[in-house]
Homo-oligomer: A and B are copies of this chain.
Amino acid sequence: MKPVRIGLLGIGTVGGGTFEVLKRNREEITRRAGRHIEVAWVAARDLDRARAIVGPDIPVVADAVAAVSDPDVDVIVEVIGGTTVAKDAILRAIAHGKHIVTANKALLAIDGNEILSAANTHGVMIAFEAAVSGCIPIVKALREGLAANRIEWIAGIINGTSNYILSEMRTKKLPFAAALEAAQRLGYAEADPTFDIEGIDAAHKLTLLSAIGFGIPVQFDRAYIEGISKLTDRDITYAEELGYRIKLLGITRRAPTGIELRVHPTLIPAGRIIASVDGAMNAILVKSDAAGVTMYYGAGAGAEPTASAVIADIIEVTRLMQAEPEERVPFLAFQSDALSDVRILPMADVETSYYLRVRVKDVVGVLADIARTLADAGISVASMLQQGAGDADNETDIVILTHRTRERNFDAAIAKLVQMPTVRPEYARIRREDLG
């Protein structure tokens, strides 16, 4: 068969990895795909740098948006990132009938509905396995492998940078700032780490997982997002003493009144297999009615792991380019006329259980007062521990694990607690999930 020709937008980390793996595994990939995959040209801002990577035989062009109309390419592979040039290029490519493979989680989480609708109109495919957790074939697992199931929840470690930092804080007893510095030194965190440590990158991915898990439009603007920058090593240690690990999780769940969509630090039982996922690795748990709990684990970022997903998508698009639309898996797992409009729950309406650490005067009756305040709010306490005797200021930490309650309710109870004269105004509140 005639080779399929792709236009590669971007030759940075992921683009370079894609180029390299396509070259190195050319024979293996052809044995699988049944035809050669050829890079027709590469679009890059820095032409010299691009030429140094791709060599003299492959044209390098400067204008990504102009390039995508090339009648000689079938598939546009977008690995520029960002939501400006990438969006213009993708929409223009779709309008010219090109199929799209993209690793761009931010763009799809924010503008996905517009892009997928354009792709529907023009009858082209948008493949985005690489946009969620690098090499892990989680999009395929959710859209196809678990297609028989009603998905109940998805919970994942989907940001390697944060997971690396939390692993360092736990195993080396480091404060957040020192662990972040280590991550930056090793290249796991960028100079401006905001996207990773504040949960935004995880929320982009979670938005996509939620859409394909539940057949709903992407709704990044409704996601609740809380990062790890305010976590203390003290709470990580207390959690560990109680048999828990703290992980930055993206959680999306089908609740009775809507869909939960939330990223935040979470206490999970240390015995759960996902609790052992350390360093920069990613892992995603899926709970569904027939399969039960399944988990998918691997490198969530990096040049070649991401290239692995990009190329898997290129092969699939290649295979189905001539197929009828109904022979392709729907973008969001459900037929486009069967998407549902279940609302995303505001965080105040989410029910979960909590870890609460307050600092109190070590006087008789303070525990009883706290317990009473929680009971009055209808909050059931699972355990309550005083961590050590009072210090020089006669103050001590109280750590409380609650049963499930609505967040609105819990926050109101905390507001009352910290007005008590024996309780200091600073506290740590971390959500707790069983994941069973």
Contacts and interface: CB of A to CB of B under 8 A. Distances in A.
Interface string A123-141: 0000001000011110011
Nearest to A304: B290
Contacts of A290: 17, 21, 25, 135, 304-305, 307-308, 311
A147 B312 contact: yes
A332 to B, nearest CB: 10
B294 A295 contact: no
Contacts of A335: 31-32, 34
A59 interface: no
A276 interface: yes
Given A33-B147, A276-B276, A327 B326 contact: no
A149 interface: yes
Contacts of A149: 21, 25, 28, 308
A312 B145 contact: yes
Contact of A334 (B31, B144, B273, B311): B31
A137 B136 contact: no
Interface stretch (A78-86, A314-322, A373-381, A425-433): A314-322
Contact of A319 (B1, B146, B273, B329): B329
Contacts of A129: 145
Contacts of A320: 327
Contacts of A3: none
A399 to B, nearest CB: 26
A137 B148 contact: no
A323 interface: yes
Contacts of A308: 146, 148-149, 288, 290-291
B136 A294 contact: yes
A360 B186 CA distance: 49
A292 interface: yes
A289 interface: yes
Interface residues of A, number: 68
Nearest to A315: B147
Nearest to A293: B298
A135 B146 CA distance: 8
Nearest to A33: B147
Contacts of A276: 273, 276
A324 interface: yes
A296 interface: yes
A215 interface: yes
A140 B32 CA distance: 13
A218 interface: no
A148 B326 contact: no
A320 B295 CA distance: 27
A338 interface: yes
Contacts of A24: 289
A277 interface: yes
Interface string A1-38: 10000000000000001000110110011111110000
Interface of A: 1, 17, 21-22, 24-25, 28-34, 129, 134-137, 140-141, 144-150, 215, 273, 276-277, 283, 288-299, 304-305, 307-312, 315-316, 319-320, 322-324, 326-330, 333-335, 338
Given A290-B304, A295-B295, 12 more contacts: A30-B338, A32-B330, A129-B145, A135-B292, A144-B312, A146-B312, A148-B309, A148-B311, A148-B312, A296-B297, A319-B327, A323-B324
